[in-house]
Amino acid sequence: MAKAAEQAPLEAARCLGCACESLHDCKLRAYAVRYNVNAHRYRGDRRAMEFDRSHPEIDYQPGKCILCGLCIDAAQQAGEERGVAFVGRGFATRLAGAFDDSMADSLRRAAHECAEVCPAGAFTRKRIKTP
């Protein structure tokens, strides 16, 4: 019961639109509010909300990625051996690790930097779990 009480404020602070933990620093959400964007205005396919939790320090939600390329730049500047890149074309374009490696293998140095520069909260730092 005590854990539930501790988790309640964290859960309440999550963005209701996408259930991420970047409520206060999500640039995409800030722009959407500023320009009165209605996410349901347009019909058509939408990216699924998936989670890649393969990395020990960050989580990646590909459905939230806006393909800005800031994480690619951050990985290159950090000297990542493999890094991440865009794969595919058109609506099927996605961010992936080099040679389709996991994020854990692709982002060994720049994981935190990717989470810092991501304007949409697609990359987020994992919360430290307390025993």
Query: Residue 111: which CATH number?
Result: 3.30.70.20
Dump pLDDT digits (tens) for 91-100: 899 999 988 8
Q: Average model confidence (pLDDT) for the chain? A: 82
Identify the domain containing residue 97 by its residue range.
2-125
The answer to pTM > 0.75 is: no
Dump pLDDT digits (tens) for 53-112: 999 999 999 988 999 999 999 999 999 999 999 999 998 999 999 888 999 999 999 999
What is the number of structural domains in the chain? 1
Q: Which residue type occupies 72? A: I
Query: What DSSP letter does each residue of 84-130 carry, written as one string?
Result: EEEESSGGG-EEEEGGG--HHHH-SSSHHHHHHH-SSSSEEEPPPPP
